Chains A and B, each alone.
Chain A
Amino acid sequence: MAETLTQIGKTEPRPSGWQGIAADWSSDQRAFKNVSWGKAMMWIFLLSDTFIFGCFLLSYMTARMSTRVPWPNPSEVFALRIGGSDIPLILIAIMTFVLISSSGTMAMAVNFGYRRDRRKTAILMLLTAALGATFVGMQAFEWTKLITEGVRPWGNPWGAAQFGSSFFMITGFHGTHVTIGVIFLIIVARKVWRGDFDTGRRGFFTSRTGRYENVEIMGLYWHFVDLVWVFIFAFFYLW
């Protein structure tokens, strides 16, 4: 299956499992054998981003554990009044479904990209961007609602003051990531639509030609945004 190109042009099969890890890392070449640099670097960026969001959630945990004042109940704070009754956390649940759906369309866009189906790839990417923009819009609505109810980074009407600072910090950074993702989705979708990856047109910023793998790398970022939301949803909204 996977093969290494040796100096004399002969190919040898690569070991798998633990031997594969040792062989790849000690090969005195590139460690990530069948992964392009673009993809490897995106993964390493996402790893660093994992630590950033990990630290945010950690600081939130520390603040929540160390305060003597009761923490506001997110179930009630994020409830919406629909049809005369309060439904707990409903907006956040809808946001979760919107973001998961955008991840699904993105995964399919990557798939159609590798099948060279430009039209479907671009449409699915734009659909992903639209769902992402919907998510950011709902987050803006949520922020507006909480701010009018008196939530500030230094206090809120329901309990521990750190609730506001944790909330704005964590969801704000996540929303920023989504927004940047939407912008780049539109840029890459435009390139796909125009056929840049088929004609070898060079990017205006990097002046390098792209490949359909760029769609997958874009997808990695987008799925990561969804992944972070899974953790925020669990720890901030549900806990």
Chain B
Amino acid sequence: MAEATANGLGQHALHAGHAHEAPAAVAHADQHQEHPIKLYLVVWAWLFILSTCSYLVDYFGLQGYLRWSLILIFMILKAGLIVAVFMHMAWERLALAYAIILPPILVLVFTTMMVFEADYTLFTRLAFFGSGH
């Protein structure tokens, strides 16, 4: 114990050198992403059901806002299940989850910009090339 105190600084430096291995190994010994197989099978089944639903949207030829909203709902549910359960994001600390999940929201900002840009492009095409072609 006294030796440990005396070497406290040295040990800490040593410890820092192995920071990528030692603490991770310690933390992971009790933090393995171990979940019952049944959970994966249930999610698997749900992904099948949701995919079938989104396929049926096309099969029955639904159109307009009903089609688009159903496609988006099924897409978001599937994506959520994959990220949360299959990729284990539901069990990660929020520091990681938010670092990964929040930045893609910027894509939505970009999308909004490009919706305006595409509208403008279409407008100029119609104005200068007519609706023919």
Contacts of B57 in A (CB 8 A): 238
Main secondary structure on B side of the interface with A: helix
Asked, given contacts A35-B96, A88-B58, A111-B40, whether A62 binds B117 with beta carbons under 8 Å apart, the answer is: yes
- A36 in contact (CB, < 8 A): yes
State whether A227 touches B114 (Cβ < 8 A): no
Shortest Cβ distance from residue B101 to the other chain A in the assembled complex, whole angstroms: 9
- A34, B27: Cβ atoms closer than 8 Å: yes
Q: Are A107 and B86 CB-contacts (below 8 A) given A16-B94, A67-B122?
A: yes
Known: A61-B118, A96-B51, A238-B57. A2 touches B94 (CB 8 A): no
List B contacts of A25 (CB < 8 A).
95
CB distance from B34 to the nearest CB of A (A): 5
For the complex, give the distance between the alpha carbons of A219 and B35 in Å.
15
How many A residues are at the interface, by size bracket? 35 or more
From residue 24 to 39 of chain A, which have CB atoms closer than 8 A to chain B? 24-25, 30-37
Contacts of A114 in B (CB 8 A): 32-34
**Contact present for B110 and A75 (CB under 8 Å):** no
A204 interface residue (CB < 8 Å to B): no
Which of A13-56 touch B at CB < 8 Å?
Answer: 14, 16-18, 20-21, 24-25, 30-37, 40, 43-44, 46-47, 50-51, 54-55
* Interfacial chain B residues near A123, Cβ < 8 Å: none
- Residues of A close to B35: CB separation below 8 A: 111
A233 engages B54 (CB within 8 Å): yes
The complex places the Cα of A211 from the Cα of B100 at a distance, in Å, of 23
Given A21-B94, A21-B95, A100-B51, A65-B122 contact (CB < 8 Å)? yes
Map CB proximity to A onto B107-125 as digits: 1 under 8 Å, 0 otherwise.
1001100110111011001
* Contact present for B59 and A32 (CB under 8 Å): no
Q: A108 to B43: give the CA distance in the assembly, Å.
A: 12
Contact assessment for A239 and B119 in the assembled complex, using a CB-CB cutoff below 8 Å: no
Check if A32 sits within 8 Å of B95, measured CB to CB: yes
Q: How far is the CB of A212 from chain B (nearest CB, A)?
A: 8
**Which 9 interchain pairs have the tightest Cβ spacing?**
A65-B118, A24-B95, A66-B121, A104-B44, A234-B75, A54-B107, A36-B24, A66-B118, A34-B27
